Homo-oligomer: A and B are copies of this chain.
Amino acid sequence: MDDPRWLDETEMAAWRGFVEATNLVARRLERQLKEDAGLSHTQYEILVQLSAVPGGSLRMTDLADRLVTSKSGLTYQVTQLEKAGLVARRSCPSDVRGVFAEITDQGWAVLRAAAPGHVAAVREALIDVLTPAQLAALADSLGTVSDRLRAADS
């Protein structure tokens, strides 16, 4: 570990900003969703992902990958959502092991009810704070970061 390249001032600012903004935003949205919709951010994201795909259902592994969470964590949350009636498990015809998570009508209703407040909170915390140019740059940079990390994992 000889003489690592430490971060210069800008790099450090970017990193600290990333860590801090990350935590603050996550915290804020977690609270907003819990209070206004009774959902955790993870649960909300599950509904969003399912709602965004034709058929409203995804394989567990696929869903876990999109959510960037562990398989076991997803199993737990899908079970919670299933108990609440917002999601249903459906077995996969072509693969006995496979399980589809599918958003239910009630899940759609809850999602539709929660979305406006959530979007407003996202705007308040992140979007409306930045200029369109900053947003475009942010989308580009973070998209690159995500792509690289995804590639590195596979």
Interface on A for B, CB 8 Å cutoff? 1, 4-7, 10-11, 13-15, 17-28, 45, 67-69, 115-117, 119-120, 122-127, 129-130, 132, 134-146, 148-150, 152
Contacts and interface: CB of A to CB of B under 8 A. Distances in A.
Q: Sort A-B residue pairs by CB-CB distance and give the 6 closest, nearest first.
A: A17-B142, A23-B68, A13-B139, A4-B116, A14-B139, A21-B142
Contact of A7 (B7, B13, B119, B125): B119
B130 A13 contact: no
Given A14-B138, A139-B13, A146 B7 contact: no
Given A25-B149, A129-B144, 13 more contacts: A1-B116, A4-B115, A7-B123, A10-B136, A17-B139, A20-B146, A21-B142, A21-B143, A21-B146, A23-B68, A24-B150, A130-B141, A134-B141
Contacts of A27: 68
Nearest to A4: B116
A21 B119 contact: no
Contacts of A4: 115-116, 119-120
Contact of A149 (B24, B141, B152): B24
B14 A145 contact: no
Contact of A132 (B10, B23, B142, B149): B10
